[in-house]
């Protein structure tokens, strides 16, 4: 039995935040029904679309979900969603601020339809505060929350992170809030509205940067490149190897002493770098000493030597190397699945429960593929469904 067996989730989301939240819930066994506009989720049509017109991003985040096409701007479409909400456990949405209320489908309206419903909202800045209601995307939140200003090198421009960390961190936070609300409902019998903002979800990741800023009274550089965000650990960097790069960090004096044995460099006897404080004050010297050694070895040799000495390290892998990594393959976080239509690649589950198997992902469904079946489950007759289609409400 899956952890969320019997739980029905409505996904009224676009892009990454809500879809990743509901992907996690689907992998835990929830029946996720994705509600799309008549035109479909915009991410269906990105340039990475394959022969059937569905983008790989959409496939990754919507496999294993059923899909219904509803025009939420129409009164008939709004009634369909209300009927769907009456039998659902959770509704997850990250539409533009105020959109659900304008459709008459906000929390106050839907709780009247189903007092047990949990409504989960992903927003840019939350429902209160000076920025409440402002639209936001991953890039704009990175700009507004110092993620970009703390990413990159001190003498370079601000840089966005490679992955969409804001959307996915917020999606994970939102899934946690949903699970907490489901647990509380077992005691109270009532649903509730849970909310996660993109800004709130990403700010905790700046803990080291904020600590460094306060501790240095604002003297610490905002962008530290590959060095520690709070400039509080050294060595801590990506070091050049003979064939690439390797990351090395020594969070304690014990780690540093073990590294000095490997370095076999008289420069490590300098009393200025005998303790962590001194090493952080002389980071350029530390990096110079370490780099003299790393350049003499391949990145995999370095990784092997450092691991043997119990020093935190990792070779910097490329994206192709990651996709071919045997550990990634065994963990099945990226899945290639074969069905009657051939093979497709999608996300597996990062969640493992010893007594609750995760669900095998299915191919992302075509736009509106499950509309008739879902409407039938809601009690609509064949004539009703035909009328809804005629009116273009679905």
Taking residue 363's Cβ as centre, other Cβ atoms within 10 Å add up to 19
3-state secondary structure 81-100: HHHHHHHCCEEEECCCCCHH
Taking residue 135's Cβ as centre, other Cβ atoms within 10 Å add up to 10
Q: Do 196 and 174 touch, CB atoms closer than 8 A?
A: yes
Between CA 174 and CA 202 the distance in angstroms is 12
Q: Do 371 and 69 touch, CB atoms closer than 8 A?
A: yes
Between CA 263 and CA 290 the distance in angstroms is 7
Which residues, at least 6 apart from 341, have a Cβ–Cβ distance to it below 8 Å?
Answer: 363
Between CA 55 and CA 182 the distance in angstroms is 32
Q: Is the dihedral of CA 242, 248, 254, 257 positive or negative?
A: positive
Which residues, at least 6 apart from 212, have a Cβ–Cβ distance to it below 8 Å?
Answer: 220, 228, 229, 230, 231, 232
| Burial (CB count within 10 angstroms: exposed 0-12, middle 13-18, buried 19+), residue 175 | buried
Residue 304 in 3-state DSSP?
helix
Between CA 230 and CA 153 the distance in angstroms is 14
Catalytic residue of the set 11, 41, 71, 167: 167
Q: What is the CA radius of gyration of the chain?
A: 25
| Burial (CB count within 10 angstroms: exposed 0-12, middle 13-18, buried 19+), residue 324 | exposed
Q: Is 11 a catalytic residue?
A: no
Q: Is the dihedral of CA 228, 231, 236, 239 positive or negative?
A: positive
Between CA 337 and CA 41 the distance in angstroms is 23
Q: For strands 334-339 and 90-93, give the pairing.
A: unpaired
Which of 384, 347, 343, 341 lies closest to 366 in space, CA to CA? Answer: 341
- Give the position of tokens 């073990």: 258
Question: Which residues are part of the catalytic machinery?
Answer: 167
């Amino acid at each position: 039995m899956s952890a969320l067996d019997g739980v029905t989730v409505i996904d009224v989301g676009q892009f990454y935040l809500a879809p990743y939240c509901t992907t996690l819930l689907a992998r835990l066994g929830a029946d996720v029904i994705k509600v799309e506009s008549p035109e479909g989720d915009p991410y269906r049509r990105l340039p990475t679309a394959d022969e059937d017109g569905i983008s790989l991003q959409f496939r990754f985040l919507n496999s294993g979900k059923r899909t219904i096409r509803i025009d939420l701007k129409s009164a008939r479409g709004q009634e369909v969603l209300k009927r769907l909400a009456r039998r659902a456990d959770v509704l997850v949405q990250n539409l533009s601020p105020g959109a659900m209320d304008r459709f008459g489908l906000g929390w106050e309206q839907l709780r009247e339809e189903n007092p047990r419903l949990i409504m989960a909202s992903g927003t840019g800045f939350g429902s209160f505060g000076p920025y409440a209601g402002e639209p936001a995307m991953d890039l704009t939140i990175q700009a507004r929350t110092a993620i970009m200003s703390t990413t990159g090198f001190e003498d370079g421009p601000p840089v966005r992170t490679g992955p969409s960390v804001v959307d996915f961190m917020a999606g994970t936070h939102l899934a946690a809030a949903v699970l907490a609300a489901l647990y509380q409902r077992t005691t109270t019998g009532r649903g509730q509205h849970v909310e996660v903002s993109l800004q709130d979800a990403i700010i905790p990741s700046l803990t080291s940067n904020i600590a460094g800023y306060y501790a240095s009274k604002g003297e610490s550089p905002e962008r530290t490149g590959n060095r520690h965000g709070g400039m509080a650990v050294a060595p801590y960097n990506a070091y050049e190897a003979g064939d690439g790069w390797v990351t090395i960090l020594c969070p304690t004096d014990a780690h540093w002493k073990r590294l000095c044995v490997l370095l076999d460099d008289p420069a490590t006897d300098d009393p200025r770098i005998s303790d962590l404080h001194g090493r952080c004050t002389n980071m350029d010297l530390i990096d110079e000493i370490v780099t003299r050694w790393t350049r003499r070895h391949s990145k995999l040799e370095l990784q092997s030597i450092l691991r043997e000495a119990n020093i935190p390290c990792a070779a910097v892998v490329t994206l192709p190397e990651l996709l071919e990594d045997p550990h990634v393959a065994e963990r099945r976080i990226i899945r290639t699945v074969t069905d009657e239509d051939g093979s497709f690649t999608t996300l597996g589950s990062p969640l493992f429960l010893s007594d609750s198997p995760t669900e095998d992902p299915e191919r992302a469904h075509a736009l509106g593929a499950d509309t008739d079946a879902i409407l039938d489950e809601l009690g609509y007759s064949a004539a009703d469904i035909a009328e809804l289609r005629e009116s273009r409400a679905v």
